[in-house]
Amino acid sequence: MMEELFVSGRHIEHIDPTLTLWGGPIAIYLFLGGLAAAILIFANFFFLMGKADKYVMTVKVSTLIPPVIIVIGLLLLVADLHHKLYFWQLLLNFRIESPMSWGAWTLSFIMIPAILWPLIYMKDIINYLSDRNPKCRLLKTLSWIDGMANKFKIVRMVIELATKYQKLMAYITIVLSLILGVYTGILLSAFNARPLWNTAILGPLFLTSGISTGAALLMWMSKNHHEKILFSKFDLVLIAVEIFLIIHLFMGMKAGSQVQVDTASLFLGGQYTAFFWVGIMGLGLVFPAVLEILELNRFNIPSWLPALFILLGGLAFRFIMVYAGQFSSYNIL
């Protein structure tokens, strides 16, 4: 039986015919959140493992990135608000059931260790960078920050305190980072209204994908062979987990209710199929994995290549999840 549906009296931008309210800014926000979480997890983890001086890049230098991208993420979030002048309402309320609220608060809290961490290591970072690239433009800025931090007693005291309780801080940061990483998935999966997002796998999947992008970035940035190999291996495992989770996601949906079957079919023959399987599964996961396997087997592959594909794949994955999720809907008409 064929059915025709006609809706009259509404043609609202970004809502009709399908929801496109959230776009690039949210996808990038989620991407940056996941990346920041991953970098912090690695830095704190290897610090706790006592590898601070072995993996300088990971434990010390890379921590410059999270505070910057978290701020960018937050700015994107605010920029995406429609009632911007009221954004402070976000920080006036904590709504335990609202992932958006969780996210805002997690990002705010995590900013504290995220800023303290590079401050603790500022001298080492400067040394590390000037050793490798004395002309690095960043050095000036970093020295200025270091100078400023030392100028104020209160800041000095905070940094000292942080250094004293660095282990405790590391544990807390890891927990916060895990929350952040999972949050980037949960933010979407909390929206039961969108069948694609309405699955428990989304949290772990986003966390895994986020950590994998972090590992890729660290692999790219590291100049230490050990570090590189380590992250390359990490990445391979993470990619495998990710692929497993994605397949699990679709299998679950195929076995689910009609709406979920319809949703899955968006990716299995539907309009997102090519982009998803070629772009994200192929170029973003399988292809870099193959490159890394080759690299681990001593083929000469520049490490930025797989890393770039993983990062772009991760970003594209968030874009497609944001858009396709809004596209998927219950049969409400």
Binding site for other proteins (CB under 8 A): 1-16, 19, 21-22, 77, 80-87, 89-90, 92-93, 95, 97-101, 104, 190-194, 257, 259, 326, 329-333
- Tokens 């309009």 correspond to 271
Nearest distance in Å: CB 192, other proteins: 6
Q: 217 is written with which tokens?
A: 């970035």
Q: Tokens representing 267?
A: 């990716």
Burial class (CB in 10 A: 0-12, 13-18, 19+), 168: exposed
Minimum distance, C-beta of residue 204 to other proteins, in the bound complex (Å): 21
Neighbours of 247 (CB within 10 A): 11
Q: In this structure, are residues 326 and 18 in contact, taking their beta carbons and an 8 Å threshold?
A: yes
Q: State the burial class of residue 267 (Cβ atoms within 10 Å of its Cβ: 0-12, 13-18, 19+).
A: buried
User: Smallest distance from the beta carbon of 80 to other proteins, in angstroms?
Assistant: 8
CA 245/CA 202 separation, integer angstroms: 9
Query: Which is nearer to other proteins, 127 or 192 (by Cβ)?
Result: 192
Nearest residue (CB) to other proteins, 93 versus 141? 93
205, two tokens: 């999947």
Cα(310)–Cα(304) distance, integer angstroms: 10
Supply the minimum distance, in Å, between the C-beta of residue 75 and other proteins: 14
How far is the C-alpha of 170 from the C-alpha of 314, rounded, in Å? Answer: 26
Q: Supply the minimum distance, in Å, between the C-beta of residue 79 and other proteins.
A: 11
Q: Which is nearer to other proteins, 239 or 320 (CB)?
A: 320
- The nearest distance, CB 77 to other proteins, in angstroms, is 8
- The nearer residue to other proteins, 104 or 182, going by C-beta atoms, is 104
Q: Provide CB contacts within 8 A for 2, sequence distance 6+.
A: none
Measured from the CB atom, the residue of 98 and 265 that comes closer to other proteins is 98
Q: Choose among 22, 116, 12: nearest CA to 64.
A: 116
The verdict on whether omega for the bond into residue 195 sits within 30 degrees of 0, i.e. cis, is: no
| Nearest-approach distance from CB 109 to other proteins, in angstroms | 15
Contact present, 78 and 152 (Cβ < 8 Å) = no
Q: What's the closest the beta carbon of residue 148 comes to other proteins, in angstroms?
A: 32
Q: What is the DSSP letter of 271?
A: T
Q: Give the position of tokens 């982009």.
A: 275
In the complex with other proteins, the residue whose CB is nearer, 150 or 192, is 192
Of 10 and 135, nearer to other proteins (C-beta) is 10
Nearer to other proteins, 194 or 318 (CB): 194
Residue 70 has a CB neighbour count (10 Å cut-off) of 25
